[in-house]
Amino acid sequence: MAPKKRHTSHLTHISDILAKALPRYSPPQETQISQIWDIWDSALGSSIAQNAKPCAFKNGLLQVTVSSSTWIHQLKFLEKEMVANLNTRLNTPLITHLRFKIGEIHY
User: Does residue 3 sit within a domain?
Assistant: no
- Determine, yes or no, domain membership for 14: no
Domain that holds residue 76: 28-102
Query: How many domains would you assign to the chain?
Result: 1
Query: CA-to-CA distance for 97 and 82, rounded, in angstroms?
Result: 9
CATH number of the domain within which 66 lies: 3.30.300.180
- The answer to the question of residue 85 being in a domain is yes
User: Residue range 47-52: average pLDDT?
Assistant: 96
**How is the chain classified by DSSP, letter by letter?**
-PPPPPP------HHHHHHHHHHHHS-HHHHHHHHHHHHHHHHH-HHHHHHEEEEEEETTEEEEEES-HHHHHHHHHHHHHHHHHHHHHHTS----EEEEEE-----
For residue 58, being part of any structural domain is answered with yes
Write the pLDDT tens digit of every residue in 4-42.
Answer: 666 556 888 776 776 677 666 655 556 788 899 999 999
Q: What is the DSSP letter of 13?
A: -
Residue scoring higher pLDDT (17 or 54) = 54
Report the predicted TM-score, pTM, of the whole model to 2 decimal places.
Answer: 0.72
Domain contains 43: yes
In a domain, 5, yes or no: no
Q: How confident is the model over 70-102, as pLDDT tens digits?
A: 999 999 999 999 999 999 999 999 999 999 999
Residue 106 pLDDT: 81
Structural domain contains residue 97: yes
Is residue 61 a part of any domain in this protein? yes
Decide if 96 contacts 61 (C-beta within 8 A): yes
